[in-house]
Chain A
């Protein structure tokens, strides 16, 4: 009996992150089926995520430490490291002195954020074309089908398709509404079934939140 108790204690302590996760998921999932419930779920979410600044701070310090080390060692990435550390220290100091509502902090953050977002969106736009061109060298039938659908979508949502023939945008809309729509639904349904299966495995302690 003593052996069984020890085993159970070890089982619980050894799987504590998973058990806490399962209980958290159970509470949130239960609140979905209650009225009122969603506001409580959000409160629970906030109470958990508000603790996130601590791991965020720890990981940020670890990253800054790496760049400081690169500066000390005068690595080839020195200008990049200097900018990262300098901007991080500046933003942290501004945040501590004036808070995130401080005008200078907000202006700097907004500008950097806008520049970064613009760069990424531009990169996405450019990058989307590139695989479409490279894809012509694709060797599988699946990729060939995707090329055809990509061209059809391009012609549907640009004036070119309509100019060539009105049936082209109609065909594109048909694919978008029926084929893509059904595929999207099937994608999510299978994902959600997979998620329920995952939760089942977690309850049985077959999927863990710590390495075993």
Chain B
């Protein structure tokens, strides 16, 4: 069997993007970035939970290795490092303030990785004994996640929630609605646009998919990840330019 290269155009764009980001990691080192509100708001959610005396609901939904052969499925993989890093930072704050974190996912591997990151976060807070393994939930499917999530929100009278991840079939709206009934502060960032639209209607703080992927780099003290983030803007500016010029040329009948 012989292999041949296809989609050379996409390969070239991918390679050019990769090279641009690599160069950015050197050239743009030390660049200042604007804050991602979700990160600050997530820590605020921990403090709100402290004031209300309730656990924090940290739900990532479908985030994990949900690879069903479509690019949007693969995108959930990109959320894994960032959401876990956020979980670690939240756990550190929660450990210091004595707040429980109730978390859950439909991915078994992600559930086990959550244990590592939560343990690390509570360890960094100086209170590793406050980590509770039973607060990490695994749901076999989306239906189980939603039903169990609603039950937990009401049982614990959840006062604040961070829902950064993927909640398919707009099931996030059910959890948002349950959180609204308990008067919870809601920080949200969803993978899919339709879910993000729902979040925009309900959440106190909202971040878009790309911002969520950047959380890991934003939380890092290392200047290289931040330089790569800034490099994304060069690619975006180039693409906007291509679209604008292409539109004008198309309008003029040149292409």
**Which residue numbers of A lie inside 8 Å of B, CB to CB?**
25, 29, 32-38, 42, 45, 48-49, 52, 55-56, 58-60, 62-63, 66, 77, 80, 113, 116-117, 119-121, 123-124, 126-128, 130-132, 134-135, 142-143, 146, 150, 183-184, 187-202, 204, 206-211
How far is A56 from B213 in the complex, measured between Cα atoms in Å? 26
Asked if B228 and A209 sit within 8 Å, CB to CB, the answer is: no
Complex contact B116–A191 (CB within 8 A): no
Residue pair A124, B170 in contact (C-beta under 8 Å) = yes
Min Cβ gap A30→B in Å is 9
- Contact between A195 and B213, CB atoms less than 8 A apart: yes
Would you call the interface of chain A mostly helix, strand, loop, or mixed? helix
Return the contact of B17 from the options A38, A77, A113, A193 (Cβ within 8 A). A193
Please report the C-alpha to C-alpha distance between residue A201 and residue B78 in the assembled complex, in whole angstroms. Answer: 11
Verify A189–B11 contact, CB threshold 8 A: no
Residue of A whose beta carbon sits closest to that of B213: A194
Contact string, B141-166, partner A, CB cutoff 8 A, digits 1/0?
Answer: 01110110011000100000000000
Q: Is the CB of B4 within 8 A of A35?
A: yes
Identify which of B37-45, B54-62, B130-138 touches chain A.
B130-138
B245 on the interface (CB 8 Å rule)?
no
Say whether A193 contacts B210, CB under 8 Å: yes
User: In the complex, A132→B108 CA distance in Å?
Assistant: 34
With known contacts A36-B1, A127-B173, A131-B177, A193–B81 Cβ distance under 8 A: no
Q: How far is the CB of A20 from chain B (nearest CB, A)?
A: 13
Contacts of A48 in B (CB 8 A): 65
Q: Chain A residues near B108: list those with CB within 8 A.
A: 52, 55-56, 58-59
Decide: B67 and A197 in contact? CB cutoff 8 A. no
Query: Which chain B residues lie closer than 8 Å to A184 at the CB level?
Result: 193
Q: Are A200 and B21 in contact, with the CB atoms below 8 A?
A: yes
Which residues of B have CB within 8 Å of A56?
A: 108, 138, 140
Asked if residues A211 and B216 are in contact (CB atoms below 8 Å), the reply is no
